[in-house]
Amino acid sequence: MNLLLCTNGHPDTRPALEYGAWLAAAGRTLFREVVLLGVVEKPPRLLEVEEFLAETERRLAEASIPYVRRVQAGRLGKAITPLAQEGTMTVVGPMTSRLAWARTLCQLLTTVATPVLHVAEAHMRLERMLLCTGGLRYAEGVVRIGGWLARAFGATVTLLNVVEPVTLEYPVANQVKSHWSHLLETDTPQARRLREALETLRGMGVETEVRVRHGPVVHEILKEIREGEYDLVGVGSPYSARSLRRIYRPNVAVEVAEAAGRPVLIARAPLEEKSGADERR
């Protein structure tokens, strides 16, 4: 996998660059190529872009990490998307004001199909990971990428499924709602996907446990992050499948990324997993 580190000179991108350089050094055998991208949206920002690139270059050089440096003028999405191709993990931090960044990140996620690692605060450790599944197949992307990272770093994984309060009255919803505290023992689609994720991770040799919470999705994820002291959080992309939009609010991944206080891995489901059966659930 390649690693793409991005900045447009905005001060809040510094933690993402620091973390990206740390990740490249700590997992030096994981990444085929490290690309350092500076996006110059406006000519006056060139000096800031060059400064941030130079800082990151020094970190990479000190760790003896080879890299490719690129500077491109234009808008963020148009500069990042062509480089964030298959086999790439893109590391970004807030590249606009905090108020505008949620919208910008949403737009970026619509065009970048490969994993995005959002870093608002650098946290140079990777021992405990939280992967939020939702219990549906759209989360297979984050389970696979998260498991790959966990295996490489020897990290443990907690699979989190949040059962959101629902008012719809149909058999599966009622079963999940009534048995959420022992969801794995049911034969619901959520339980089946959760067991599959657990088997996948354990099959990769990753020590994994399952936690199920009940309540508003973002609130419960953030509460689990605080209580569990995780080093990295993984969520399925809100653009991974239309089924996600019917279960979660469309911006759950963005809300978690903004508030987690930890690096957040956002990954789409593999294309082959977007089956018609899952779309109808």
Please write the tens of the pLDDT for every residue from 199-234.
999 999 999 999 988 888 899 999 999 999 999 999
Is residue 90 within 8 A of residue 116, CB to CB? The reply is yes
pLDDT band for 164, please (50, 70, 90 cuts).
confident
d(CA 232, CA 276): 31
Share of the chain above pLDDT 70, in %: 81
Q: Which of 105, 148, 100, 118 is nearest to 260 (CA)?
A: 118
The 10 Å Cβ neighbour count of residue 32 is: 10
pLDDT at 238 over 60: no
d(CA 177, CA 183): 9
| Domain 128-280: homologous superfamily in CATH | HUPs (3.40.50.620)
Domain ranges in the chain? 2-118, 128-280
In the numeric block, the tokens 């770093």 are attached to 153
| Greater model confidence, 89 or 136 | 89
Q: Could you check whether 2-118 and 128-280 share the same CATH topology?
A: yes
pLDDT at 183 over 70: no
Q: Of 140-144, 257-261, 270-274, which range is least confident?
A: 270-274
128 three-state secondary structure? strand
d(CA 91, CA 1): 13
Q: Which CATH architecture has domain 2-118?
A: 3-Layer(aba) Sandwich (3.40)
2 three-state secondary structure? strand
Average pLDDT on 29-57 reads 96
pLDDT tens figures, 79-101: 999 999 999 999 999 999 888 99
Residue burial 157-196, b: 16+ Cβ < 10 Å; e: rest: bbbbbbbbeeeeeeeeeebbbebbeebbebebbbbebbeb
d(CA 65, CA 36): 12
Average pLDDT on 104-119 reads 92
Residue burial 49-68, b: 16+ Cβ < 10 Å; e: rest: beebbeebbebbeeeebebe
Average pLDDT on 95-109 reads 90
